Amino acid sequence: MQAVILAAGRGLRLRPLTETTPKALVDVCGTPLIERTIASLPEEVTEVFVVVGHLKQQIVDALGESIDGRDIRYVTQETLDGTGSALHLLREKLHGKFLVVNGDDLYDASDLERMIAHTLAILVLSTEDAVAASA
């Protein structure tokens, strides 16, 4: 199974942290967000496409070509024009069922496991304070 991690954006809401660091590499308790995401992926995921853009070389240098037996591939989104455009770049590389996650979110492994049990699924968080949750 394949996974796509969207990590191209500038992370404007995380400034000043993201002025010199890609949002996917922001440290949370000693581990970059994207490494936490990769660790949370279901074991069925053997190939990970990381869509990079802003400060992309830092992400490539941090992750390398594989992590925990998973092949890491990079696709550059030159024009940062959204999720649909990022996935369009991968249209010929993705086959069958695949998982798409944001590189700057935290995921519980059990949630991702439940997602892949379905043909089509989307993961959302319900909150009382939408403004606080969007920051």
Does the structure show a pLDDT above 60 at 80? yes
The domain containing residue 77 runs over which residues?
Answer: 2-134
What does pTM read for this prediction?
Answer: 0.88
Q: Which residues contact 49 (CB under 8 A, 6 or more apart)?
A: 2, 3, 4, 5, 73, 74, 75, 90, 93, 94
Domain count, the chain: 1
Residue range 20-60, pLDDT digits in tens = 999 999 999 999 999 999 999 999 999 999 999 999 999 99
Which structure tokens are listed for 8? 């191209």
The pLDDT score that the predictor gives to residue 13 is 81
Residue 119: phi, psi to the nearest 5?
A: -70, -45
Residue 130: phi, psi to the nearest 5?
A: -65, -35
Residues pairing with 4 in the sheet? 49, 100
Residue range 1-14, pLDDT digits in tens = 999 999 998 878 87
What CATH code is carried by the domain that includes residue 70?
3.90.550.10
